Structures are given as C-alpha cells and as structure tokens.
Structure 1
Amino acid sequence: MKGLFITIEGPDGAGKSSLVKRLNEAIQNETDRPLVMTREPGGSEIAEEIREIILNPLHTKMDARTEALLLAAGRRQHVVEKIRPALDRGDIVLCDRFVDSSIAYQGQARGIGIEEVKAINEFAIEGLRPDLTIYLDVEAHVGLERIKDKKLNRKQDRLELEAITFHEDVRKGYFKLIDLEPDRFTIIDASKDEDHVFQETWAVIKAKISDKN
C-alpha cells in the first residue's frame, strides 16, 4: 500500500504544533496504519542540529541564501532518513512544515525568488510531494500576538523575531503557492478557536485517509 504524506503549513502563530498533536491522536484512533509524526526544520538527528543553527536568535548575520541552503540540506537528510522510508513502508506521514515553508519564507519574504528556492529544494527532495497540504491561515499581526503571549512561556526564534512586514510577505507567499497548486491545498481559517480548527482539519484529513484506503 502506498504511503500517505500530509503536511501542515502556515505563518508563525497559526497554531500548527498544537494542531499536529491533536491530529496525531485522531489519526491513530481512525486507522491501523502506522503513523510517523515529524517536523521541519528538523525531523532527524542531523536535521535537528541544522534547525538549531537556523533558528538561533544570535545568528543575526546569517545570509538569506545560507538560510535557504541550510533548510534544504536539513530537508534532504529528513527525507532520506525518515519521510521516504516511512512512505515506502505504506505509513502515514504527518509533517509540521515542508518545502512550502521555504518557498514562502525564503523565496517570498526573504526575496530570493520562488523559482530559485523551488530549484534548490527539488535537488533535495527528488520529486517528493505531499498528497495533501493543510494551510492554516492567520493574519500576521494575530499570529505574532499569539507568539508574544506570555502564556506560551517560550523564547522566540530568529524567524519569529522578524518585523511584521516579513510575516505579511510570508502569508503572500503561501497564497501564491495555493494559486499554483489549488488541488493540493485546503485552507483553514486559523483565527477561529482551536476546537473549530481541529474539527475542520480533521474532516479533510479523515476523508483523505478513507480515499487512500
């Protein structure tokens, strides 16, 4: 049986991480197929070390292209070590971010160029594409306020600390991608409460799992 590759995307503060945790439980209750839950940047031992370099708030001198190349390198290792083997086994892979993030953040917001970032990532992933991408949409100022909320009790990473104009450009980048591949993306209004977002997302994923089965 062919594996199923599902990615969750969105700007900072969209609520991806908490949603992925709830989806993990829901998917495991729905099907007997093995589930691999992972994330980017990171997802494998080497890729997690690359993540630390990329997101370290002290690395303010990092060049935009260096950032993009590091992300692609980590992604390559992640694909080889974890994602591709899981899909080859017929597992479901649920990933918090994938190539679309690099295109939105580095291609659009950093101004490197969408096609340029696509090219270096194509070298890394060798044609691997998600079967379904959930895009959690939230306006930049809403996402940033969520991140700054003291209840989150964590430090902001280097990308989260960027100006609001950067995060607005990230959102624009995502919508450019959605226009290019509307059949792959499902847009979820992430400004709504967590339960509503979960229920809407789960309905889409559950249908996709049923179709694959």
Structure 2
Amino acid sequence: MKGKFIVVEGLEGAGKSSVIRLIRETLAAHDIQSISTREPGGTPMAESIRDCVKHNWEEEVAVETELLLMYAARLQLLNNTIKPTLEKNVWVVGDRHDLSTQAYQGGGRGVSEDVLASLRKMTLKDFSPDLIIYMDVEPEVGLKRARGRGELDRIEQAGMEFFKRTRQRYLELTADNPAIVRVDANQEMSWVHNKVKNVLLRYLN
C-alpha cells in the first residue's frame, strides 16, 4: 500500500501551519503514520534554495529565476522525501505544492500557463496530490496576520495587488477541481479547524 499526499494551500496568514498540525493529529488518532513537509524546502538542498528565494536581495530577482528555483526545490523534495515516504505507506502532509506556483508565479507574477505546464511536465510528470485543502483568506486579513508574526520576507513584501492577483488565480484553479476542498480561512481558527477536520474525516471514510 502507498501513503497519501495531502497538501494545504493558501496565502500568507491563512493558518496553514496550525491546520497541518491538526491533520497530523487526526491521522495519528486513526493509526496513520505521517510526516510534514514544506515548499520551498524539505530537504537540505531545498532548504538552501528556500533561503535563496526568500532573501531580500539588493539586486532584482528575475521572475524566471524565482520560478526555476521553486521547481528545483520541489523536485528535490519530491524525489528525496515525498515519493520514498509514500512508498513506505506513510502519509505526507505538505505546506504548499505546485498549486502555489500556479497561483503565485502564474497569477501573481504573470508567468504564462504554457511555461508552467512545460515545467510541471518536466519535473512532476504525472504526480499530483491525493487531496488539496485550499485555505482561502482575503489578502488584507492574511497579510495582517503575517505581519503579526514578524518581519516579512521578499515574497511577502510583493504588495497588495500581487496578492490579490494570486488569490484570484487560486480561486480560478480551485473552482471545479474535485481533488481540492476550499475552506473559508477568514473565519475564527476554531471554526476553520472544525471544518478541516470534517473534510479529513470524510476523506478517511
């Protein structure tokens, strides 16, 4: 038997980290072993790429550079952690995956779908998550929460219009996909957690 790959998506401040903890606790209560990962990151090399992506460089970072770094980190994580773990019948709960690139670099940065599709085909081939939980939050709400955590990184400083474009693309991508469940993350976290837990329990049953 193979494990399942569950991904939690959403803008900064959507509450992904606490939802991932909830998912893993729920899986453990059902005697399902799991690990958590994050993107970009999740392996030593991918974490170094994450630092490179997030750093506030004094030079301009080209959109294409950011995009290629994202896929480089993703491929390292996929080949070295996600796939081997799933083969051991251990579930993987991911903080972001390819949907983030489609929303952030596609919607936010304006990278064409043809370019994104080509990179997906080269790196991911036919691999995709078993379940995606998209935490939908208004950019104003999410960024306010993010600022409350401390200093914003380079991507978090991209500006409100960037995040509005990113959210719009998320909404388009999640509209009619049966593998994606949309959760209103503008609500109180107790409500959000209850909603996510119910989604997961239905999936397990």
TM-score by length of 1: 0.91
What is the 5 A alignment of 1:57-72? 57-58=56-57, 61-72=60-71
Residue type of the alignment partner of 2:36: M
SS in 2 for 1:12: coil
Q: 2:185 pairs with 190, 208, 212, which one?
A: 190
> Could you say what the CA RMSD is over the residues aligned between the two structures, in angstroms?
1.4
1:165 CA displacement: 0.2
Q: Is the 8 A contact 1:23 1:198 kept in 2?
A: no
* Pair 59,50 (structure 1): closer, same or farther in 2 beyond 3 Å: farther
Partners of 2:27 and 2:33 within 8 A in 1: no
Separation of aligned partners in 2, 1:115 and 1:200: 35
Give the percent of matched residue pairs that are identical in Structure 1 and Structure 2.
33
Q: Deviations over 1:28-84 (max 9, x none)?
A: 12x223201111110111101100000112355110011000000000000001000
Which deviates more, 70-79 or 169-178?
Answer: 169-178
Change (3 A) 1:52 1:59: farther
Classify the secondary structure of the residue corresponding to 1:111.
Answer: coil
1:122-161 superposed matches below 5 A: 122-149=121-148, 152=149, 154-161=150-157
Unaligned ranges ≥5, structure 1: none
1:165 is aligned with what amino acid? Answer: E
Distance 1:112 1:16 in 2: 25
- For 2:26, the equivalent position in structure 1 comes to 26
Residues 132 and 180 in structure 2, CA contact (< 8 A), matched pair in contact too? yes
Q: Give, in whole Å, the separation in 2 of the partners of 1:122 and 1:88.
A: 22
Q: Partner of 2:6 in structure 1?
A: 6
Distance 1:60 1:112 in 2: 20
What does residue range 35-54 of structure 1 map to in structure 2 within 5 Å? 35-54=34-53
Question: Match of 2:165?
Answer: 169
CA contact (8 A) 1:107 1:116 kept: no
Query: Measured at CA, do residues 44 and 136 of structure 1 come closer, stay the same or move farther in structure 2, by a change above 3 Å?
Result: same
Structure 2: how far apart are the matches of 1:35 and 1:76?
20
Displacement after TM superposition at 1:88 (Å): 1.4
Q: Which residue of 1 aligns with 2:95?
A: 96
Q: Deviations over 1:112-134 (max 9, x none)?
A: 12332232133112211111100
The amino acid that maps onto 2:93 is L
Counterpart of 1:113 in structure 2 is 112
